[in-house]
Amino acid sequence: MLPFFNKKNKEKLEMEGQESTVSSNDILQTSDEEASNEKVEPTLSIHPSWNLPEEDMYSFRFLNNECPALEPNQLSLYGINVAKDDKENYVFHAFVRHSVNRPIALSETTIVLLDKDEKIVGRKVVDLSELGELPAHSSRPWRFTFTAKDLFIDEVPAKGWTLAFQLKPSSRKHSLELTSTWKKSLATTEQKKLEEIVNKIEPPKPGEVNFLGLKAQLVEQTGELHVTLLVRNGGEKAINLEQIPLQVEDAAGDIVATGGFKLNPKLEVKANTSTPWNFVFPASMITKENPDLSRWKAYPPKKK
């Protein structure tokens, strides 16, 4: 059996792959009970059939502790390392992590390999029932072997790759996803109104990311324009937005505000979901007096 860690690994332990996360409901095809807003740090769980030396146990404990916490009801693949076996197959080691409040069991699913630019460079159907039952809030290391026929490239880089669950486009309905801050600050009735809006309107096209205006208001005291948008992700992977250029157009078709927004922390919009966010245009960004906001829209300006 190919060892989990070679001497070089053990001298400097670090995660060589990236992490991918999905909603556990998308894979388990269930709707879990409502969880708290608190993040979860999955506990290391070794498969009962694995008899590991203490030095490997130490390495797995160390690396698992380095992994970031998960949002409630998430399923994650976090790449540990990759090596070739004696048949020239690529063997990827990764933590299968989850934050569900109960034990879970996975089944056959499609796993894709992504390069550093998030391009799919490999695909394989994997029987994850072999993982066994995963305890609640656990993280279990596992091997994923890709043969030459599973890969679309000749050489896999040692670092920067990602293993991810491939979701079928029809596997889930486009839905509302609130950040933890919005969940805490928004009343339940308002959350339901947003859900109704998302359920009623046509979802974005597969792979499309766009913005839907919810509310726009000029604040007389400061001259600011406050805009609330739904950031809509029609892709099969979560996106992380760090900078968003926006311009607002009023009922007359005139541009009334233009600006760029740096999001810190970055805004994660999960696969096939819409997430609301507030944007404040200071008076210096307003380009039209007394705009008609009875109808309006916001979008990134076209590149010249």
- For 59-82, the pLDDT digits (tens) are 999 999 999 999 999 999 999 999
How many other C-beta atoms lie within 10 A of the C-beta of residue 52?
A: 14
**Predicted pLDDT of residue 35:** 54
How many other C-beta atoms lie within 10 A of the C-beta of residue 217?
A: 11
What is the rounded distance in angstroms from the CA atom of residue 17 to the CA atom of residue 179? 26
Decide if pLDDT at 189 tops 80: yes
Residue 268's SS3 state is strand
Arithmetic mean of pLDDT, 210-218: 94
| Residue 9 banded pLDDT, cuts 50, 70, 90 | low
Ordered domains of the chain (ranges, CATH):
7-165 (no CATH), 175-299 (2.60.40)
The CA-based angle 71-276-97, given to 5 degrees, is 15
Task: Read off the amino acid at residue 279.
Answer: F
What is each CA distance from 26 to 111, 122, 215, in whole angstroms?
14, 21, 31
Contact status, residue 80 vs residue 15, Cβ threshold 8 Å: yes
**Predicted pLDDT of residue 169:** 55
If you average pLDDT over every residue of the chain, what do you get?
89
- Which residues, 6 or more positions from 148, have their beta carbon under 8 angstroms from its beta carbon? 88, 89
What is the rounded distance in angstroms from the CA atom of residue 2 to the CA atom of residue 131? 18
pTM over 0.85: no
